[in-house]
Amino acid sequence: MRPRERLIVVTTDTECLHLVSGVRAQLPYVDAEVYDSSSRAMHALQHSPCSVVVSDLSNGDGSIPVSDLMRNAPDTPLIALIDTRERERIIEAASDVLFEVLWKPLGPLDLMKSLREAISLYRLRRHLAHAKRSVQRLEGLLRVAHERMREVQHKQRVEFERARWAAAQSCVLSHQAIGIIQARLRAREEVVAKYTAQLDHATVAAHERLRQRLREVA
């Protein structure tokens, strides 16, 4: 079953609200939440993870501060909505945390395309974070196994011959455990490298798309 994705939209624009209704229909796996102020949106964001944030920078109180978003949801892509009559505000929006800029009035296809790409990026970041946590757990297991092996080797030097034989068997098992953990660790590191490469590609593409939009309005 496809996981649910959470979308937060900050706007009071009637046309934007109409497009959000279309999102609910075309992306049934997305739970869209609409807020009329940045303070309410940030409060909701602090209590539960969010896949994408769409912030209407042309709305009086629709702009979520970039610093607040980075602090509370650093992996969440931010899509900025800006009125073409307020192009100078793009300077404020042009930040590393910004995923994309969409000019108002919006086209439904543009919004859907941006949302799908932003959700894909968020999922990629989430998979990468999960893979890194798995690597950290495996590294912890590996350290414990090494410590256990050293303890067994120390006992081999001080115990009687009979105890040494039993300790030797435990040491063999420890070596086998280390081999298994190392193999899993290598596999997880390959996953991390894969997701990192995909994330870098997606990030470069997003930045290139943003620079293209900036050149269009220059």
Contacts of 116 (CB under 8 A, 6+ apart): 27
Task: Provide the CA 59 distance to its chain's centre, in angstroms.
Answer: 27
Cα separation, 145 vs 129, in Å, equals: 24
**Rounded CA separation 23/27 (Å):** 5
**CATH 3.40.50.2300 segments of the chain:** 5-122
Where in the chain are all domains bearing CATH 1.10.287? 127-200
| Total number of residues shown for the chain | 218
- Span 5-122 CATH architecture: 3-Layer(aba) Sandwich (3.40)
- Return contacts of 155-162, CB within 8 angstroms, 24+ apart: none
pTM for the full predicted model: 0.65
Span 94-152, pLDDT tens digits = 555 578 888 887 777 888 888 899 889 888 888 888 888 888 888 888 888 878 877 87
Residue pLDDT, tens place only, 45-68: 888 888 888 888 766 554 555 556
Select from 199, 72, 217 the least CA-distant residue to 130. 199
CATH of 127-200, one of 1.20.58, 4.10.280, 1.10.287, 2.40.128: 1.10.287
| pLDDT digits 0-9 by tens, 174-211 | 777 778 888 888 888 888 888 888 888 888 887 888 78
Q: How far apart are the first and last CA of the chain?
A: 44
